[in-house]
Amino acid sequence: MYKIDYKVHNIIEPAVLSDVKLMGVIGEKLDRVIHQRLSGEYAQAEVFGEAESAFEHCTDGDNAPIGSFQGEFWGKQIVSACRAYKYTKDESLLKFIKESCARIIAHQREDGFLGTYKDPKQIFRCPERIGIERLGWPCNWNWNIWGRKYTLWALLEAYEITGDENLLGAAVKATNQLIDMLDEMGARICETGTLDGQPSGSILKPILILYRVTGNKKYLDFALEIAKEWEDDETCCTKLIPLSLRGVPVHEWGQYTTKYTPQSKYNPYGEEGKPVFSLRDSVPELKGKVYEMQSCFDGMLELYRVTGVEKYFEAAKCYFELLVEYEYNTLCSVGFNDKFLKASKYQNSLSELCDVIHFMRLATELHRLTGEARYLDYAELGFVNCFLAGVTRDGSWGARCVRAAEAHFFIHDQAGFSKNHCCVNNMPRGFFNIAESFVTANKDEVMVNFYTKANITVHPMEGEFVNVEISDGYLKKCEVTLKISASLKARNARTLKLRIPEWSKYTVVITPEKTLALNESGCYYSLPLSNGETEITIKFDNTPRLIEGKYEWDFYPMTPLLTHNYRANVKYPINLDTLIDKNHATIFVGPVLLARTLDLGATIDDIRAKDTVVGGNYSVKAVPIDVEGTACAYELSFYSPDENRKDFTIRMCDFASASDTEEYKEYRFTVFI
């Protein structure tokens, strides 16, 4: 498929999705998501039907200069459907993908434009003052190129699995039209769209895929220009590369403004002779939007693979560390309500599902390029906790925002649609990004990275295979058995590497030959890998971890954001007395964040977290219990040496099981104790 090879290859390669099968509670949830959102009758008639209608009606620009984003939904759905086909090999799904793509490219105009704005040149941000006048908040939306990004990506993913040259031809025509239009208008991509051009600039990744497929240097030049705008002082884009390399906290990036004035020759919605927008109108907070910025760095890693230019790799690694240090939140995601606001300092977390999906994506991509186990520690915690909590149990929908207490935000009206949603349409990719990283391999090593129930086969070299069958028990007992079957050619010794999560301070590995006690964590433990079958049992540290954070209360963003979302989108009342105004603790067993629920015996005052274990020097003992409808649950006994503190016993379950339905119940859950 590719005419251009990478200059930098992954150190370790993911499994092929067709060789992966997730099982147990996680695999069953994924199967339901595939049916409800991609392959079922309702999904294909109603969800895809609504998404396709955006290209028929082209209403995203009808409230100009404010622009909407119906154009992103179809592309996300097709990208997910293509991954689902690779995973299931469902021929009826492949047939549907072909038919849906044919319907979309039938809307392509003669000049190549394929999008959901009537005017292809409506690409500039809306002045914030107009957003305030019309909507009551500084909306500067324009999502024209953002939507085209997902359409391009979908066509390329579909081309990969179908080989249909019509899809590649449509992708080429659409991209040529975009690049030529920008050149004609004298517009840099950083001048387009909202958020200092970051949504538009995130087209970088599919542009690079198109370059590798076609070999047309025009697309590489465009990609390099996008990256140049992320560091050049003569552009109006946020300086993603130098600010990352300098270690500037991401929540401060909006303070680094530019004096550059946009020079586009075309401004259909402004005064003739005036700049297409004024940088003085910019709201610094809006420069740090989590989902879109992470998407840019995902593209930056692809640019590193294509060009071999080290600064792109270093910037992405530094960026990830900045997220961990300043933006990593209670729920094991990053950011606060899709913004970078120094989220690690705020106890009451609020995470958009898209944010944790792309944080997991960055982590898995960095693992492939480095082989370092620590990246997958973050991917696993984000997946098991924030992500799974945000995907509804029946697989039909997902949370707009995952909350730490009471109820998540579920929104069914977005951009004028009711069956498609930004986060919901990204959900399947969150599963598949993790699925293909369960077991990874190169010619010398096979890495077992995740331990929930699954069956995975990898091929270290042509004609070889290693099958890994992973038992149940990891989430509930921190214990797992691996059945490994290998067929390898005679050559140098091979290595089996087992990821030991950072939280497992004491791990026991039992092989047929010996039992080993490990005191190292956040790394891989290596064993020889040979032909034949073997069985390995791993007992991870199941000691409960009581996390007592140190939080800041000088600026507390939760209440205004909650009340704004309630007014605008949320049908349920929000009980603000679940917002904690003093330090509380959270508790993990293994990778699992635990939650208290009314169903497990908590009182409303418990959910309000009126009391706290912080400062009590408590030790905790956890005993697994069986509770229907949960992935895992425990009876936890708390003991304090302080005579003024009471010992007590409570029941808690995994955060995902406590919160992954839309059923509303006041004071339903909390992660705080």
Task: Give pLDDT tens digits for 599-644.
Answer: 999 999 898 888 899 999 999 999 999 999 999 999 999 999 999 9
Report the distance separating Cα 386 and Cα 402, nearest Å. 7
pLDDT of 568 = 46
128-142, 267-281, 462-476: the lowest-pLDDT one = 267-281
pLDDT at position 625: 97
| Higher-pLDDT residue of 323, 238 | 323
Q: In whole angstroms, give the CA distance from residue 501 to residue 507.
A: 9
**127/102 Cα distance (integer angstroms):** 37
496: left (phi over 0), alpha (psi -120 to 50) or beta: beta
As beta bridge partners, residue 456 has 20, 468
Better-predicted residue by pLDDT, 298 or 276: 298
Quote the pLDDT of residue 318.
98
Residue 256 has pLDDT above 80, yes or no: no
* 412 compared with 579, residue with greater pLDDT: 412
SS3 state of residue 513: coil
Burial class of 551 by CB neighbour count within 10 A (0 to 12, 13 to 18, 19+) = middle
**Mean pLDDT of all residues belonging to the chain:** 92
At residue 364, the pLDDT reads 98
What superfamily in CATH does domain 445-539 come from? Golgi alpha-mannosidase II (2.60.40.1180)
- 315's enclosing H/E stretch is helix 310-322
H or E stretch including 497? strand 494-500
Q: What percent of the chain has pLDDT over 70?
A: 90
pTM flag (> 0.85): yes
Across 3-23, average pLDDT:
98
Full 3-state SS string of 390-441: HECCCCCCECCEEECECCCECCCCECCECCCCHHHHHHHHHHHHHHCCCEEE
Residue that wins the pLDDT comparison between 364 and 138: 364
For 130-144, b/e burial (b = at least 16 CB within 10 A) is bbeeeeeebbbbbbb
CB atoms inside a 10 Å sphere around CB 162: 18
Alpha carbon 30 to chain centroid distance? 16
Which of these ranges, 214-218, 240-244, 519-523, 564-568, has the smallest mean pLDDT?
564-568
Which tokens sit at 513? Answer: 């030959």
> Tokens 């009590």 identify what position?
616
**3-state helix, strand and coil shares in percent for the chain, rounded to the nearest 5:** 45, 20, 40
Report residue 594 as tokens. Answer: 């635990």
Is residue 578 over pLDDT 70? no
Mean pLDDT of 240-260: 84
pLDDT (average), residues 515-526? 97
Among 195-199, 307-311, 524-528, whose mean pLDDT is lowest? 195-199
Mean pLDDT of 275-285: 56
Instruction: Select from 392, 433, 428 the least CA-distant residue to 93.
Output: 428
Does pLDDT of 567 surpass 50? no
CB count within 10 Å of CB 395 equals 21
